[in-house]
Amino acid sequence: EDKVVQSPLSLVVHEGDTVTLNCSYEVTNFRSLLWYKQEKKAPTFLFMLTSSGIEKKSGRLSSILDKKELFSILNITATQTGDSAVYLCAVTPNTNAGKSTFGDGTTLTVKP
């Protein structure tokens, strides 16, 4: 059975700090790993990673995938209070009938 483990489960930092969120996975026939941000509503898409070693970047957020060691990290630099959210990691297998498996999420709280 496919499995996604995120760590830490929760994190409290102050504005301006840099955080690193981890996602490790086990999946049969890996296709992609996705990161989502969820505030008090539905998840919003952040990144999709399919290749090892290629960093995806969007503003202060960046993510990279290591397909050999089966993990991904999500970095947030110069954190702001608006970054407070649950960050979800999901993996999808390489089959048309595949389903995404989600981790439990990391709850990030950024204090002013």
What does the binding site for other proteins look like in residue numbers (CB under 8 A)?
Answer: 31-32, 34, 36, 41-45, 48, 88, 92-105
Tokens of 94: 């390489």
Q: Taking the complex as a whole, how short is the minimal distance between the CB of residue 19 and other proteins, in angstroms?
A: 20
CA distance 37 to 16: 19
Is the CB of 38 or the CB of 84 nearer to other proteins? 38
Is the CB of 20 or the CB of 29 nearer to other proteins? 29
Is the CB of 54 or the CB of 78 nearer to other proteins? 54
Q: Taking the complex as a whole, how short is the minimal distance between the CB of residue 106 and other proteins, in angstroms?
A: 12
Q: Taking the complex as a whole, how short is the minimal distance between the CB of residue 17 and other proteins, in angstroms?
A: 26
- Chain Cα centroid distance, residue 72: 7
Q: Taking the complex as a whole, how short is the minimal distance between the CB of residue 4 and other proteins, in angstroms?
A: 10
- Neighbouring residues of 71: CB distance < 8 A, sequence distance ≥ 6: 22, 23, 24, 25, 65
Judged by phi (left if over 0) then psi (alpha if -120 to 50, else beta), residue 82 lies in: alpha
